[in-house]
Amino acid sequence: MGSIHSFSVTVGTGAACREIAVEQRAGNTPGLFWLNGFRSVMSGLKAMSLDALGAEKGLEVTRFDYSGHGQSGGRFDDGTISRWLEEAEAVLATTGAAPIVCGSSMGGWIALLLARRQLAKGTPLKGLVLIAPATDATTRILARMSDAQQLQLETLGYYERESAYGDGMYRYTRRLIEDGAHHLLFGSVIETGCPVHILQGGQDMDVPPEHAQRLLTHILHDPVTYTLIPDGDHRLSRPEDLARLRAAVSGVL
């Protein structure tokens, strides 16, 4: 069981400079690399379940908070897919070679973008495990907005809605939505360069099963396993869901 090293990574320059908080368990490769969902932090149930798996198997495990989240610096309202992907790349550079990247919801989208970049560099990932991957999420955010929310976005630069999970208001900025348009994956073949395992809840109202099934039709050159959990919700954080997550990661290993 490796010790955990807490450190920070500086990303960006000038006004865009921010300190990213990282927790890294020492261990063997291929390690595990965790990507949180929107508004989630590296101490969540799924992240800590993966950390425990790494401890059991003697693997390196890396978790971090995006800027504007948890222990990291930066303002949440400055957050975009570009910024959070840049941070993911910077933290990935601190890990051993070719980890298994596990991403939840928005983290699943960022994981796919990260895999594409690593493949282009000639350093593909060992594998991807995606939990309710919110691919191209900003287009779905736009499509679900009410007239009142659209007015808020235009006049304030953001709109807010009550979380379905009892953790307050979720804010969506115009900056986030406009930036997301530069990272859309649907509409062309998605190249990952590694095996992919998707875990999807059948009762997920935020990222419904048909969204994950659409993703399946775009990954044409890499082996994909799709696990539908009929009674699962978006978070997939029940004990039985966490057991499936660990099994999926062990399968890629």
pLDDT (tens digit per residue) in 102-136: 999 999 999 999 999 999 999 999 999 999 999 99
Q: Is the pLDDT of residue 95 over 90?
A: yes
Percentage of the chain with pLDDT > 90?
94
Q: Supply the pTM of this predicted model.
A: 0.96
Work out the pLDDT band at 192, boundaries 50, 70, 90. very high
Question: In this structure, are residues 140 and 180 in contact, taking their beta carbons and an 8 Å threshold?
Answer: no
Average pLDDT, the chain: 96
The domains found in the chain, sorted by start residue, are 4-136+189-252 (3.40.50.1820)
pLDDT of residue 164: 74
CA angle centred on 119, ends 111 and 28, rounded to 5°: 70
Residue-level pLDDT at 163: 77
Q: What was the pLDDT predicted at 217?
A: 97
Instruction: Spell 49-73 as b/e; 16+ CB within 10 A means b.
Output: bbbebbeebebbbbbbbbbbbbbbe
